[in-house]
Amino acid sequence: VDGAAPFGRAFSVQCAVSEVRLSGTLRVAIEHARGVKGELAISFLTPPHLDFRVAVVGSWMGGAPLKPLLVHLFSRHIERSLVEPNRLRRDVPGLTPVSSADGGMEGARVEGGAEAARR
């Protein structure tokens, strides 16, 4: 993913699906342009299917928090865009609201967060 980070600084994030469990857990490997690497574990509230979307939030190892990243996973391509939690659409099929206690993200619950990124 290439795009403009907050405050106009460019960034690059590489996401690779390394594990998908029947329970709906998705592990995403991430690598910052500065060479910082980490991994996020996302637990789906709705079963994955060919057209599903997840919200990813976490922290880089020893760095600033990773801005919320809305990840659209399609059967043939991956489309991602940075969004704020309150800007996530509520009318997207397959998304189930998550309470603010879970970070306010809709459609996915983050497992581990910064802890998963340190692994």
Highest mean pLDDT among 16-30, 66-80, 83-97: 16-30
pTM of the model: 0.21
Q: Answer for the pair 42, 26: CB distance below 8 angstroms, yes or no.
A: yes
* Band of pLDDT at residue 70, cut at 50, 70 and 90: very low
Q: Look up residue 32 and give its two tokens.
A: 């910052």
**Amino acid occupying residue 105:** M
* Band of pLDDT at residue 1, cut at 50, 70 and 90: very low
The confidence score (pLDDT) of residue 80 equals 33
Task: Taking residues 46-75, report their average pLDDT.
Answer: 38
pLDDT tens digit sequence for 9-47: 333 344 444 444 434 444 555 454 455 454 444 444 444
Length of the chain, in residues: 119
Q: Answer for the pair 113, 40: CB distance below 8 angstroms, yes or no.
A: yes
Q: Look up residue 15 and give its two tokens.
A: 């996401």
